[in-house]
Amino acid sequence: MVEKTQNSDRKYYLFALKIVGDFGIAIAVPVVVMVLLGQWLDGKYSSTPTFTVFAFVIAALISIKIVYKKAKIYGEAYRKLDEKIDKNKN
């Protein structure tokens, strides 16, 4: 019985780590790419920090949209994992 509990706990932990990593990438990549693009445009047109700030705002909106979509997907995946683990306990 203890082994089943440890195995189910491990599945939850691995699922949580997957979510954290995926959300971290979904937030970091758009921000880094857009800010670098904004800095390049600021340097090209000598408009510091106009493009950088605008690019950051756009990146934040993109990240919010991506995280929202992924949260819905992970919510469903969590329900399926939970159902699967409950079936194995009984």
What pLDDT tens digit does each residue of the chain (90 aa) get? 556 667 788 999 999 999 999 999 999 999 999 999 999 999 999 998 999 999 999 999 999 999 999 999 999 999 999 898 888 776
Both tokens of 16, joined, read: 């949580």
**pTM of structure:** 0.82
- The domain in which residue 11 lies consists of 2-89
Confidence at residue 4, expressed as pLDDT on a 0 to 100 scale: 65
Whole-number pLDDT of residue 3: 64
Burial of residue 20 (CB within 10 Å: 0-12, 13-18, 19+) is exposed
Cα(30)–Cα(37) distance, integer angstroms: 10
Q: Count the domains in the chain.
A: 1
Mean pLDDT rounded to a whole number for the chain: 92
**Could you tell me if 63 and 31 are in contact, meaning their C-beta atoms sit under 8 angstroms apart?**
yes
